[in-house]
Chains A and B, each alone.
Chain A
Amino acid sequence: MVQDIAINGDNAVALAWKQIDPDVCAAYPITPQTIIVEKFAEYVANGEVSTEFVCVESEHSALTLCTASASAGARTFTATASQGLAYMWEMLPITAAMRVPLIMAVANRAVSGPININNDHGDCMSARDCGWIQLFSENVQEAYDMSIVAPRIAEHVDVQLPVMVNLDGFVLTHAVERMTMVDTHVIKEFVGEHKPLYPLLDVKHPVSHGNMDGPDFYYPHKYQSVLAMNKALEVAQDVFDEFAKISGRQYKLVEEYLCDDAEIVAVILGSSFGTMKAAIDEMREAGIKVGAIMPRVFRPWPVADLAKCMKGKKAVVVFDKHLSIGAYGPMFPEVVAAASDLEKLPKMYNVIYGLGGADATVAGFKKAIEDVKSEKAEKVTYLGVKA
């Protein structure tokens, strides 16, 4: 029986993982991820999961332990945020290069400094070149659903890459929303038995993991990851389609909202997609033809689907919750690149918003888009900043 419950984002992630019942979880506490590990520890304490749960002494060790555990053949997950992800950074590309399909929830939070515990995308965006698949969630339901689809994508025989499930810190991690569960036995069947490739603990067939590459092999190995990442696009959509059958919720590589007849399209990630939809509803009432898209999958970058949504539009406004100081928001150049093969390039704008938990409001989004509509907008707008 499907069941509706009231739950916050962190607990929803923990619940998904309880239902999956992974082999190993190693994690270290950091706000706003902490509830995930606290809740999971409770499941462990009450024997509700059979997971080997390891409370490590740092995030560096968390991801290291999980990488080794996944290499050993165990289905493994962890969770972190902000400084924790930064502390893991050395291991991020190693995990991906070792092609281990582990899952990590990231409770997106600003990166120090100045130290700040609130939400933005500084953590996951700074990890974007590390070879991980990145999924984004708009609400608690999606954080739960993405946690369930993630292992299917990661463990696909042609993918074998780690997956980050992003959920906005506090906005989703601590907000209680209504959510529809999927039955545990249905999830177990959907996720299936873990069938690791070349598991290290198969002592009868010893393998070496994490060898050193010279130039003859380093580059080809990176290229193999490119091929796997490309394949992951197709796999992700297949898994989304299959998930729709068990949940009734259909996800797409790029989620659209009123794009078909739109003249202006906003591109935005995570919980702000919801805020943007509200802004669009109000602007539509005022007769402004505007729509929005959210890349559900940020890595691999769904170029073709993005281009389709931007085709024939007058302007595209990319909302970034992070900033590459001295250039643009991290998503902006990528959206421009995705649009670059269109016959007629829309006018491209970048809006930086919400850094360190700064308010992301309907009014702010409307103002930014209306400025584009009236051709008053700068190339890059620092929305709502008080200089």
Chain B
Amino acid sequence: MTTLALKDLNELPVRLASGHRLCAGCAESIIAKQVMMGSEDPLAVSCSTGCFEVSTTIFPYTSWNTPYIHTAFGNGAATCAGLESAFNALKRKGKITENINFVNFAGDGATYDIGLQALSGAMERGHRMVYVCLNNEAYMNTGIQRSSATTIGAQTTTSWPGSVSSGKKEYSKDLTQIMVAHNIPYVAQVSPHNWRDTVQKSQKAFNCGGPAFINAISPCPRGWRFPSDQTIAMAKLAVETCVWPLFEVVDGKYELTADSARIADGKVPKKPVTDWINAQGRYKHLLQDRWEPVIEQMQAEVDRRWEKLIKLADL
């Protein structure tokens, strides 16, 4: 199925039930639901340890109305690959007849940091699975510690702004590009504010016949310090400022999509990162005059990555 009609999407089974224990305003369940709408076939889910895992499977309850597994933190990709390997074997032996799709959900800590090796291995081996990073740019489940996905200047509980510190010193790792370098059939960045773009990309990911990687910006009211009714607005702002461009790479070919395509075409203005910074408490300290160079650095890096992406998309 490749329909994007809400009427049709509504017909799909509800795989993640309401009543889970994610924080108010958390983007993770929104993203997961959008991604899972991309699979018409039955779906088996694995989760790396993190907010999403903890909040949806506190025994004796489960929010999952579809096969689900969690093992540990740094091995979501290997866990998902295990399901897919079993499927291949059992399908071959005729013990399973229908198709099943596979998806792993993991936070940025589980993806950019501790789980990178397992992720890289699974992608290289070509398992037919979709790996989704719910990127809230820090270790939120343990209380907002910096990860390699945390942006420069952000306050976390291990990168405090202080008398001699402007928050996190380093730029975020550009993991999406690392995944593109694996030469897998499908890589994309998505944002939950554009459900149509996310569902469409997820459909492509599930149907690409091999490993796919989706990096989703996942605004976190607790960690980013914004009101919990502003999640979708925050996701939108990430794209409007080009802090989080929407694009896909199909068999190595780059294409900017949705809002980002319109910005690149000049149809919509690119907003300054100060809009992004002003909206979130984690950057509040940067508004002091002495940290102005950090804002400049941040804008320069956003511009550099954006320009590079436009070039790649023109190829």
Contacts and interface: CB of A to CB of B under 8 A. Distances in A.
B68 A60 contact: no
B83 A68 contact: yes
A45 interface: no
A211 B58 CA distance: 6
Given A65-B79, A68-B82, A208 B62 contact: yes
B46 to A, nearest CB: 7
B83 A91 contact: no
B89 A24 contact: yes
Interface string A69-94: 11111101000000000000011001
B67 A206 contact: yes
A210 B71 CA distance: 6
Interface stretch (B117-125, B207-215, B224-232, B262-270): B117-125
B69 interface: yes
Interface string A44-62: 0000001110111110110
B122 to A, nearest CB: 8
Contact of A211 (B57, B96, B98): B57
A67 B59 contact: no
A52 B68 contact: no
Nearest to B93: A50
Contacts of A66: 82
Interface stretch (A197-205, A233-241, A309-317, A358-366): A197-205
B290 interface: no
Contacts of B90: 23, 72-74, 201
A55 B122 CA distance: 10
A64 interface: yes
A207 interface: yes
Contacts of B69: 68, 71-72, 200, 208-210
Interface in A194-240: 200-203, 206-214, 217
B47 to A, nearest CB: 9
Contacts, number: 162
A271 B183 CA distance: 48
A52 B86 contact: yes
Nearest to A217: B59
A98 B117 CA distance: 24
A334 B38 CA distance: 55
Given A26-B85, A68-B82, A206 B118 contact: no
Contacts of B86: 23-24, 52, 68-70, 72-74, 76, 201
B37 interface: no
Interface string B6-49: 00000000000000000000000000000000000010101000
Contacts of A60: 74-75, 78, 118
Interface string B52-74: 01100111101011111111101
B78 A65 contact: yes
Name the residue in B44, B83, B85, B98 with the highest tally of chain A Cβ atoms < 10 Å from its Cβ.
Answer: B85
Given A55-B125, A200-B44, A212 B53 contact: yes
Contact of B42 (A61, A71, A203, A217): A203
Contacts of B80: 68
A54 B121 CA distance: 11
A61 B115 CA distance: 10
A26 B77 CA distance: 14
Contacts of B57: 208, 210-212
A212 B59 contact: yes
A7 to B, nearest CB: 27
B223 to A, nearest CB: 21
Nearest to B58: A212
B87 interface: yes
B177 interface: no
Contacts of B71: 64, 67-68, 91, 94, 98, 210
B184 to A, nearest CB: 15
B247 to A, nearest CB: 27
A64 B79 contact: yes
Interface in A1-42: 23-24, 26
B92 interface: yes
B88 interface: yes
Contacts of A207: 67-68
A209 B70 contact: yes
Contact of A26 (B58, B82, B117): B82
B81 interface: yes
Contacts of A70: 86
B255 to A, nearest CB: 30
A94 B78 CA distance: 14
B82 to A, nearest CB: 3
A57 B64 contact: no
B100 interface: yes
Interface string B110-149: 0000000110111011000000000000000000000000
A203 B81 CA distance: 17
B19 to A, nearest CB: 14
A349 B122 CA distance: 49
B144 to A, nearest CB: 20
Nearest to B15: A206
Name the residue in B67, B92, B95, B100 with the highest tally of chain A Cβ atoms < 10 Å from its Cβ.
Answer: B67
Contact of B85 (A52, A57, A213): A52
Contacts of B42: 203
Name the residue in B46, B72, B82, B87 with the highest tally of chain A Cβ atoms < 10 Å from its Cβ.
Answer: B82
Nearest to B64: A208
Contacts of B120: 57
Contact of B118 (A55, A58, A211): A58
16 contacts: A52-B85, A54-B81, A57-B121, A61-B121, A61-B122, A64-B75, A65-B81, A73-B95, A74-B89, A76-B86, A203-B66, A209-B69, A210-B71, A211-B57, A212-B59, A212-B70
Closest 7 CB pairs of A and B: A68-B82, A57-B121, A72-B86, A74-B86, A61-B78, A210-B70, A208-B62
Given A52-B86, A64-B72, A72-B90, 13 more contacts: A24-B82, A56-B81, A56-B121, A58-B117, A58-B121, A68-B46, A68-B71, A69-B85, A71-B83, A72-B83, A74-B85, A74-B90, A203-B66
